[in-house]
Structure 1
Amino acid sequence: MQIADLGDVRLHYRIDGDPDGAPVVFSNSLGTDMRLWDPILPLLPKGLKFIRYDKRGHGLSSTPAGPYTMGSLVRDVERLMDMLEIKDSLFVGLSIGGMTAQGLAVKRLDLVRAMVLSNTGAKIGTPEIWDQRIAAVKKDGIEALADGVMERWFSKAFRATSELELWRNMLVRTPAEGYWGCSAAISGTDFYTPTSGLRLPTLGIAGSEDGSTPPDLMRETTDLIPGSQFHLIRKAGHLPCVEQPEEYARVLTQFIHDTGHL
């Protein structure tokens, strides 16, 4: 575990795998930290360098005053990668992390040679929906939203297991300002036009029971980029890397090989 002091924010990051391997950068969803990727990392090929980080307002990173913009989230990981001298990464982003991936690829194609857009969209929800969620968190905290979020995140079968408590706890322990600050960043983002101009190997991954970014949205976003691939993971919601880690790792491994990243 290490901290990168970037001035206006301090990002918690971690590097696993082969320090000399080709870089794979992971960016996680709203209300989770880098442990989101724990289920799949042991299943991925050896010889790669895995970089994970907690975005601002999440995990062990600092929580600057909100609201945040997508530009600030993109700039955070851009500065982290520059600090670590990482270029030509395969960037895996889930939900808000997938929006960050799109923004980073548009801004700094030297940092991203291929990307995985998982359970995300070029635009997610409406400003009205996000305004309601932000107001609810400011008034009553994340706990008030937690059960509804679990329904959107996970399939009914997974919600019946004891493991659900781990993810619910991770959500409610997210700093409230970090949660609503990042919610504001999602609310203000529409990447349909910039993402449609991208030309890089792209894999879209959707969960069949995702209540936050449904498969149709994920397919629509992936289709903006010519030559992209799309994969639907069944019996999984918004976090298929948690519910179906073997399939998620298998699809990601195939994409790593297809793009010559290993």
Structure 2
Amino acid sequence: MTEQFNINQFNCSISGKGQTLIWAHGSTGCIQSEDAIGLYAWHRFPKKLQLIRYDAVGHGLSSAGKCVEDYLWPELANDMISVATHCKATSELILGGQSMGSATSLYAALKHPGMVKGLILMNPPNAWHSRAAQVDEYHKMAKAARIFGGKGLAKISAKHWDKLLPNWLINGHEHSVLGMLDGLKQMTSQTLDQLFRAAALNDLPNKQLLSGLTMPTLILAWHGDKTHPVETAIELHQTLPNSTLHIADSVDEVNEWPELISEFCFRL
């Protein structure tokens, strides 16, 4: 049974009992959009494990941020720990997320390493040198957000799936990938403007800091996604001393990810 509730400004859901995984979605996503996409299969997540999910600030049913700084990844990490604290999950946590959610998890682990037992990094975002090359693109997205808002950007994105997802994944999940836009449609122009301007400032922590994270880490990536280049996942794998990397090249391999996540949590 899944319980949905609010913690301060955050919409949260919790299910199961046992080892706790706190999961954060990607940018412009939310609990609803993850469920609509279907790739995560959270409904099959073992009940012997506790799963805590939440809508990040400005996303889904959570309250909007007040400024660009609220959407910076270190601040999102503080939000993740705040959710954990309110759920009385403050030790031996597994932190995980997709894209922005994986960045959030890394910053949270750096801030509170004693609380974190493991990490799951799905589709790590552009980082370091490759992210610097995308800064102008994030400013263009902020401008587009001010003009079109969430619904307008969702319509534009639906016509350019090849810029958002690998073609082989689109072809294999053509009936469910539209769910990816459910979260974007709900977002206001102001929120998206602040989010994309924050994206231009965001980056993963430097590798020297990351090399000090010794907890077991599962990294999941796929080929053919410019926003989540496999090179970032490989660099993280080379930097994090206790990490395992799975790179998918097909829908069948991506369909194995929910089981890989469950097995990782059970092993811990």
Please tell me whether residue 146 in structure 1 is matched to residue 143 in structure 2: no
In structure 2, the residue matched to 1:62 is 63
State the TM-score, normalizing by the size of structure 1: 0.84
CA RMSD between the two structures: 2.3
Contact kept? 2:148, 2:189, Cα under 8 Å: no
Contact 2:248–2:254 (Cα < 8 Å) also in 1:
no
Report matched runs for 1:208-247 at 5 Å: 208-235=223-250, 246-247=255-256
1:50 matched to which residue of 2?
A: 51
Letter in 1 for 2:141: R
Whether the 8 Å CA contact 2:149–2:188 is kept in 1: the answer is no
8 Å CA contact 1:70–1:188 kept in 2: the answer is no
CA displacement, residues 214-262 of structure 1 (integer Å, 9 cap, x when unaligned): 11221112321112110012235xxxxxx8663011211232233x2xx
Whether 1:82 and 2:95 are equivalent positions in the alignment is no
Distance 1:180 1:201, change over 3 A: farther
**Aligned ranges 1:40-189 → 2 under 5 Å:** 40-67=41-68, 68-86=71-89, 87-121=91-125, 122-123=127-128, 125-126=131-132, 127-142=135-150, 143-144=152-153, 145-147=156-158, 150-159=161-170, 161-189=174-202
1:209 and 1:235 in contact (8 A); partners too: no
Percentage of pairs with the same residue: 20
Shift of the 111–215 alpha-carbon distance from structure 1 to 2, 3 Å rule, reads same
CA distance in structure 2 between the aligned counterparts of 1:256 and 1:219, rounded to whole angstroms: 22
Distance 1:58 1:136, change over 3 A: same
Q: 1:152 to 1:218 in 2, by over 3 A?
A: farther
Secondary structure of the corresponding residue to residue 103 of structure 2 = helix
Change over 3 Å in CA distance of 1:134–1:218 after alignment to 2: same
* Contact 1:57 1:177 (C-alpha < 8 Å) held by counterparts: no
Count of aligned positions: 247
In the alignment, the residues of structure 2 paired with residue 63 and residue 213 of structure 1 have an alpha-carbon distance, to the nearest angstrom, of 25
Cα deviation 1:150-183 (Å, max 9, x = unaligned): 3233333554523233323432223333333333
1:185-204 equivalent positions in 2, closer than 5 A: 185-190=198-203, 191-193=205-207, 194-204=209-219
- Indicate if the aligned counterparts of 1:56 and 1:178 stay in contact, CA closer than 8 A: no
Cα pair 2:113 2:213 within 8 Å, conserved? no
- Please tell me whether the aligned partners of residues 66 and 177 of structure 1 are also in contact (alpha carbons under 8 angstroms): no
- Measure how far apart 1:69 and its partner are: 2.1
Is contact 1:146-1:171 (8 Å) kept? no
Give the CA deviation at 1:90: 1.0
- My pick for the range that moved more, 129-138 or 243-252, is 243-252
Conserved? CA contact 2:147–2:189, under 8 Å: no
2:7 is the counterpart of 1:4 = yes
Q: What SS does the aligned partner of 1:114 have? A: strand
| Cα distance in 2, alignment partners of residues 224 and 186 from structure 1 | 23
Corresponding residue for residue 239 of structure 1: none
Q: 1:3 to 1:105 in 2, by over 3 A?
A: same
Structure 2: unaligned runs, 5 residues or longer: none
> Does the CA-based 8 Å contact 1:90-1:113 persist in structure 2?
yes
In the superposition, relative to structure 1, how do residues 256 and 59 fare at CA in structure 2: closer, same or farther (>3 Å)?
same
Aligned partners of 2:193 and 2:144: how far apart in 1? 9
Matched with 1:17 is 16
Structure 1 counterpart of 2:29, from 23, 28, 32: 32
The whole-number CA distance in structure 2 between the counterparts of 1:120 and 1:201 is 16
